[in-house]
């Protein structure tokens, strides 16, 4: 019988991925805010400029949710990581449209920085879960 990862192993990978992506995305936020690519005149939420808090939350929360999704895929399928990787890539690809379509008056640079942040979150999650999968094999 195939050994599956435990919930603790998977959620730990998700938390580490969330922390790592929060750090990388915070660095991107401060760098591109200082470079005036992320400007306070573009609002993701009505009348509210982007701050570090939503960046950190949007890095950690999806990583936790993604790790829980992976747990269930891993639990009920024989190819959990392969399925999760495909789903993750499709979802992150779809998320790349969002900054261009959902943020009024967004500039190309602003949207691209947000897209890089999306890719970082997905990439970190796939990396750290992938490490756990390889370690169990």
Alpha helices, DSSP H, located in 35-78: 52-76
**Beta strands 43-45 and 48-49, pairing class:** antiparallel
Compute the Cα dihedral for 56, 59, 62, 64 and give only its sign: negative
In a domain, residue 91? The reply is yes
Please give the mean pLDDT across all residues of the chain.
Answer: 96
Residue 2 domain flag: no
Taking only the tens place, the pLDDT of each residue in 38-96 is 999 999 988 999 999 999 999 999 999 999 999 999 999 999 999 999 999 999 999 99
Whether the model pTM is above 0.85:
yes
| Any domain includes 19 | yes
Which pair of structure tokens corresponds to residue 48? 């509210």
Our count of domains for the chain comes to: 1
* Confidence at residue 137, expressed as pLDDT on a 0 to 100 scale: 77
Distance (Å, whole) CA 19 – CA 57: 10
Q: Decide if 98 is inside a domain.
A: yes
Strand ranges (DSSP E) for 10-127? Answer: 43-45, 48-49
20 in a structural domain: yes
Q: Do the Cβ atoms of 71 and 125 come closer than 8 Å?
A: no
Within a domain: 1: no
Task: Establish if 101 belongs to a structural domain.
Answer: yes
Domain-embedded: residue 84 = yes
């Amino acid at each position: 019988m195939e050994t599956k990862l435990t919930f603790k192993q998977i959620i730990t990978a998700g938390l580490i991925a969330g922390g790592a992506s929060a750090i990388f995305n915070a660095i991107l936020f401060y760098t591109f805010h200082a470079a005036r690519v992320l400007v306070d005149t573009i609002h993701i939420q009505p009348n509210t400029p982007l701050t570090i808090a939503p960046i950190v939350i949007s890095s950690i929360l999806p990583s936790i949710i993604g790790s829980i999704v992976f747990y269930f895929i891993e639990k009920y399928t024989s190819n959990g990581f392969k399925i999760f990787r495909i789903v993750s890539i499709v979802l992150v690809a779809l998320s790349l449209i969002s900054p261009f379509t959902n943020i009024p008056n967004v500039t190309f640079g602003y949207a691209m920085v947000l897209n890089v942040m999306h890719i970082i979150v997905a990439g970190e999650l796939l990396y750290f879960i992938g490490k756990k999968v390889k370690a169990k094999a």
